[in-house]
Amino acid sequence: MPRREHAAYFPDMTPQFRSTLRRVLAMQVAALALLWWLQSHYAA
């Protein structure tokens, strides 16, 4: 898809939204890391 058309279909990627996305990603990585620790630390 040409760049201009792409921008029309996926609008509003504001810096604020990008920063929110980074926070969501960080939260998920932290959650998965915690679950991994729970599984491996308490494995018999």
Note the residues at the interface with another protein (CB under 8 A): 1, 5, 8-14, 16-17, 20-21, 23-24, 27-28, 31-32, 35-36, 38-39, 41-44
What DSSP state is assigned to residue 42? T
Least gap, CB of 10 to another protein (angstroms): 5
Least gap, CB of 37 to another protein (angstroms): 10
> Are the beta carbons of 1 and 9 closer than 8 angstroms?
yes
Least gap, CB of 3 to another protein (angstroms): 14
Buried b (16+ CB within 10 A) or exposed e, 9-19: eeeeeeeeeee
